[in-house]
Structures are given as C-alpha cells and as structure tokens.
Amino acid sequence: MSASLSRRSFVLGGASALSLGALSLAGCSAASGNGGAAVSSVEWSEEADVVVVGFGGAGAAAAINASEAGASVIILEKASEKDAGGNTSVSGGTMCLADPNNLDTAFEFIRYQMPDTTTDEEIEGYLEESSTLQQWLVDHGANVETNATKGSMYGALESAVAFPTSAKVGGNGFSLFTFLKGVVESSAGVSVRYETPASKLVFDPETREVYGVLATAADGSQLAIKAKKAVILCCGGFENNHQMKTAFYPPEVPIYPCGTPYNTGDGIEMITEIGAQLRGFSSVEWGCHCCKPASEEVGVSCGFTWTDFECWSNSIMVNARGQRFVNESGRTVSDRKILRPLHDKSQIPELAFSMDTLSYANLPMFFICDNAKVKAGPVFNNCSSAAGNHWANIHEWYTWSDDNQAEIDKGWLVKADTIEELAGKLGVDPAGLAATVQAYNEACAAGADAAFGRTDALSPVSEPPYYGCELGLGIINTQGGPVRDGAHHVLDTEGNPIPRLYAGGEFGSLYCWLYQGAGNVPEALGARTAGTNAAAEEPWD
C-alpha cells in the first residue's frame, strides 16, 4: 500500500514522564498533559481494520473472531515465529470452565476472588466467555478433552461447584497454541508480522481516540500502521523487565520468567501515556524454584515441575546459614497436587525480611542434594526433554541433560565430596549446613519431619558426592495492566472507554488478586470478544 494512505493530526504516544519503563521525554513536547509527543501528521505505512498487538492465545482468539466478523487484521508479534505463542504456548493448557447452567453460583465464586474495584459487568462477561469456550473451540475444529473434576484450585469454596470441569486441547499449552495458530493462518484477511514489536499508540490528544500503532519491522524499518476500526492489546505482562519487577515486587530477589521472555512490559508504556486506568500490579503468580546460574545464562527459568513432588527427593533447601526454613515439597493448596510456592498468595518464607539485619532472612537460598538425586535423572526437570511446559525446552532455548553432566561441567551444579566442602564452595556456613543435613537425615530415618512437617519426598541427603546451587524463584506471569470492561474496552481513569482501544488476556487480567488454577488460559481466549467488538466499530476514515 502507499506510504501516504491518509494523513491526520494525531498524537504519537511517547513515554510518560512517570514512565514505568526506561524511556523518557527528552527532546519531546508534551501534548495535553498525557505524556505524548506531539506530531502534526503521520504517514501510514499500511492499514487494516483491526491491529492486534501480541500473538499468544489472546491475540490469536481476538484475530480469529475479528476476521470472522469481516475485518482485516494485522497481528504484531515481538518474537520470531519459532518463539511466538506467549505464555499460552508454555502453559499447562488446562482451562477451567464455568457451568453454563449454574452461572449465578459461578458469579459468587469469581466475585469472592476479585477486589471490590472489579465490576460485576466484567465478571459476567468473563463467565459468558468461559461457559461458551468449549463450544467455540469445537466449532473451530478442536478436539477438546474434558476432565470431570473440579476445575478450580479453590475447592474449599462451596461455589467452586460451578466450575465442575476442566478442558484441554492436546497435551499442553503448546498443543493449544499450535491449534490456534493454524486457525489464524486459515482465517481470511489476517496477516501475522513476526519480529515486529509495537512501541506506541497513535491517538488524538483531546479525545484519546486511537488511530493506529507504531512498530519496528524485522528489518529495522519504522512502521505506522493505521487501524481503521480499533487496536487490541494482547501483549502480556512484564515478567522479564527487571525495573518493573523491582517497582512492584520485593527488590533484589532473583526472579526468572517460566514463560515468554518477550514479556517486558511494552504495553504498559502505551496505556500509561494514553491515560488508561491501571490495576493488578501487586499480583504475582509464582512458579517453582529454579537454578539461578542456569536461569541467568539461559534467560528464562530452569526449574522444577510444579506437579512433581519427587523433584525434592534426596534434596533440601537452605539459607546462607545452612538452615532449612520451609517444607520444601509442601503444597500450595492442601487438597491439590500443586507444589509450593506455585500461585501462593501467603507470605512465603523465601521473602521473609529481618529488621535486625536489614536483609532477607533466607536469601540467598540454596539447593542441596546427593548423588542419588543426580543419578535419578534431570535435577531441574521442567527444562528437561520430558518437560511439558516452561519456555526453555518447549521453545528450544535449553534442554537439561538426562545425566546432569553438562550442567555440572558448566558449573551450574557445584560438586563436592563432603557437605562441608560443598558449603564452602557455595558460600554457605559449613557447620550450619552439616548440622542441618544430619538433623534432616535423622528425620528421614524416623519417618517424620518434626521441623517442617515434610512428608513428600522425605528421603536422605546421604550419598556422596554432593551437589548444590543457588536458587531463584520462577514467575509464571504478571497480571498488571489496564482496567477493562465486560466488552474488553480499555477504560480511562474516570472509568470511560478509550475509543477504539481494547485489551485481553493477562494484560490487565481479571485475576488481580486471587487466581483460580487454569484461569488465565480461558481468560486469554475470552479476547475473542474483543475481536468481535473491534470489528463492529465504524471506520474512522
């Protein structure tokens, strides 16, 4: 298309003076106090009815429905095609589904989990999407397998009966995204632009009406893409943005994304500068522990499988004093097979802070195991060849060796002939660690862990040589982003829809306080509503 399809005086959204990222307003003039950099015109590179930012589950669902409503769609994806799919592609793929015949009780269940600022209208919209999701998938050719067990991890709530089943498409989230990608590729009028990150919204400084998106193409050229009807932001969170994690979570904690490393909070800049209402930035969905040196080098979490309690066999976790501080193989929810601290909303001991020392009481923290553990298979098994989710293996960034030798050679797992020698190499108090291992082994022999009540994987650390590493915390995703209504409009600070701007998925997730297991995937696919509504907008030009 012509580079001068249309010209109009807009605002080119720049970084806000209160930027949540690293951009600044240097050299730019503010427009109407919204933090944008004023420009007199934009030369459009190309156009579509709807522009979708992000190609994960939410972006795919939005594009599919927009196409089916007759709209042309451009999807902008930051990652390469190999790394596309967002967090959906490395999720467990399980979807918690509301019973369409029991929506009143389902409403009670979701209402209980939400802060009072979440509107009833948004909950009702979510439940409509959840209760019709299975049929939507089937209508698009999916083989949906259902599990007739409680769909939610909060079984203690009586209203959980309204979520009686969970569903999957294939074995995991990668299977689900592969299916969605195929539907997108067969949808009329949809174009996916890989390695093309969006950077700014183009909008009117007075009305905030959104007209398009600026992006950078794979060849480095700058694009101005006109959205004749609407823009839908499905760009995930900020799991891989150190500055934002430090701003919203306890600082100086080693945190590594279990999901896509491309979630660096790009969309937060866009909605901040346009004046969107924000929510959910304190909500963090912990994953399981990970090997810190491996995660640092690979760039994503190399950690434990969150449903495998035996990953703690012949192993313990200690602080720098060599002391255990938690039941390592404990459960987040007592009646579910969920390894802590996955989705834990309690005050986790890993983050305990001492006002006496003005430091974290249990950080740094260390994994200690023996030769029996190393001989049994990959120590950090969620990036092994058998891993069913997590980024490292699924997207072929790193696969942990079956015998752990490659990781020992790299120095990720430190080896020593004695516990005291291992402690010295790791920087842990030798006497403290030796006493802890002795006490733990005695508990294993007695069959009862009086110190922390550990029952799963209660096996000794007794066969030399010994191994260890510093641990980090995995993070599944963040939930912070824009407030939206039941139709997926992004709302401004006064609660009014920002014209032609929609959002979906975990970018401003409904789950900004409690999170029910398997809730984010159906929420992501609920962005199909945003696609339908965006396609129904009247073209602005």
* Cα distances (Å, whole numbers) of residue 465 to 157, 174, 441: 47, 38, 16
Q: Which residues contact 13 (CB under 8 A, 6 or more apart)?
A: 35, 36, 37, 200, 201, 202, 203, 214, 269, 270, 273, 274
Name the strand (E) or helix (H) holding 529: helix 528-535
Q: What pLDDT digit, counting tens, does each position of 465-516 carry?
A: 999 999 999 999 999 999 999 999 999 999 999 999 999 999 999 998 888 8
Q: Does residue 104 register a pLDDT over 80? A: yes
398 and 263 share a domain?
no
- So what's the pLDDT on residue 26? 24
- So what's the pLDDT on residue 149? 67
Percent of the chain exceeding pLDDT 70 equals 92
69 falls within a domain: yes
* 323: nearest Cα among 452, 454, 455: 452
37 and 57 share a domain?
yes
254 and 385 share a domain?
no
What's the pLDDT band for 8 if we cut at 50, 70, 90?
very low
**E-assigned strand segments in 98-189:** 144-147, 165-169
Percent of the chain exceeding pLDDT 90 equals 83
What's the pLDDT band for 4 if we cut at 50, 70, 90?
very low
Region 331-351: what's the mean pLDDT? 88
- Specify the number of domains making up the chain: 2
**E-assigned strand segments in 77-137:** 95-97
319 and 456 share a domain?
yes
Of residues 517 and 11, more confidence is placed in: 517
112 falls within a domain: yes
- So what's the pLDDT on residue 333? 83
Q: Which of 457, 476, 495 marks a domain boundary?
A: 476
4 falls within a domain: no
Whether the CB-CB separation of 534 and 66 falls below 8 Å is answered with yes
Of residues 490 and 206, more confidence is placed in: 490
- So what's the pLDDT on residue 515? 86
278-279 and 481-482 as β-strands: parallel, antiparallel, unpaired?
antiparallel
Average pLDDT for the chain: 91
CB atoms within 10 A of CB 513: 17
518 and 531 share a domain?
yes
229 falls within a domain: yes
Q: Does residue 27 register a pLDDT over 80? A: no
122 and 241 share a domain?
yes
Domain that holds residue 219: 11-278+479-535
- So what's the pLDDT on residue 150? 61
Q: Does residue 9 register a pLDDT over 80? A: no
- So what's the pLDDT on residue 541? 82
Name the strand (E) or helix (H) holding 191: strand 190-193
Region 508-533: what's the mean pLDDT? 93
- So what's the pLDDT on residue 31? 36
Q: Does residue 253 register a pLDDT over 80? A: yes
392 and 458 share a domain?
yes
HSE, side-chain direction, 13 A CA sphere, residue 496: 8
Sign of CA dihedral 291, 297, 298, 300: positive
What's the pLDDT band for 21 if we cut at 50, 70, 90?
very low
Rounded Cα gap, residues 358 and 351, in angstroms:
13
- So what's the pLDDT on residue 345? 87
* 98: nearest Cα among 158, 152, 173: 152
32 falls within a domain: yes
Per DSSP, the three-state class of 302 is coil
241 and 296 share a domain?
no
- So what's the pLDDT on residue 6? 36
- So what's the pLDDT on residue 151? 61
- So what's the pLDDT on residue 513? 87
Looking up residue 26, the CATH number of its domain turns out to be: 3.50.50.60
Q: Does residue 206 register a pLDDT over 60? A: yes
Q: What pLDDT digit, counting tens, does each position of 404-461 carry?
A: 999 999 999 999 999 999 999 999 999 999 999 999 999 999 999 999 999 999 999 9
273 and 288 share a domain?
no
Tokens of 235: 């760009």
149 falls within a domain: yes
- So what's the pLDDT on residue 455? 96
- So what's the pLDDT on residue 155? 77
Rounded Cα gap, residues 227 and 210, in angstroms:
8
HSE, side-chain direction, 13 A CA sphere, residue 324: 23
Q: Does residue 384 register a pLDDT over 50? A: yes
* Cα distances (Å, whole numbers) of residue 21 to 57, 201, 244, 267, 492: 25, 16, 7, 10, 20
Q: Which of 461, 476, 491 marks a domain boundary?
A: 476
- So what's the pLDDT on residue 444? 98
Q: What pLDDT digit, counting tens, does each position of 276-332 carry?
A: 999 999 998 999 999 999 999 999 999 999 888 999 999 999 999 999 999 999 999
For tokens 């994806």, name the residue: 77
Of residues 38 and 40, more confidence is placed in: 40
244 and 151 share a domain?
yes
Rounded Cα gap, residues 61 and 67, in angstroms:
10
165 and 310 share a domain?
no
- So what's the pLDDT on residue 22? 28
CB atoms within 10 A of CB 258: 31
Phi then psi dihedrals of residue 409, to 5 deg: -65, -35
Q: Is 503 exposed, middle or buried (0-12, 13-18, 19+ CB in 10 A)?
A: buried
What type of residue is 371?
N
For tokens 């959104």, name the residue: 210
What's the pLDDT band for 17 if we cut at 50, 70, 90?
very low
Q: Does residue 24 register a pLDDT over 50? A: no
Phi then psi dihedrals of residue 74, to 5 deg: -115, 125
Q: Does residue 93 register a pLDDT over 70? A: yes
CB atoms within 10 A of CB 245: 21
231 and 348 share a domain?
no
Of residues 353 and 389, more confidence is placed in: 353
5 falls within a domain: no
Looking up residue 424, the CATH number of its domain turns out to be: 3.90.700.10
339 falls within a domain: yes
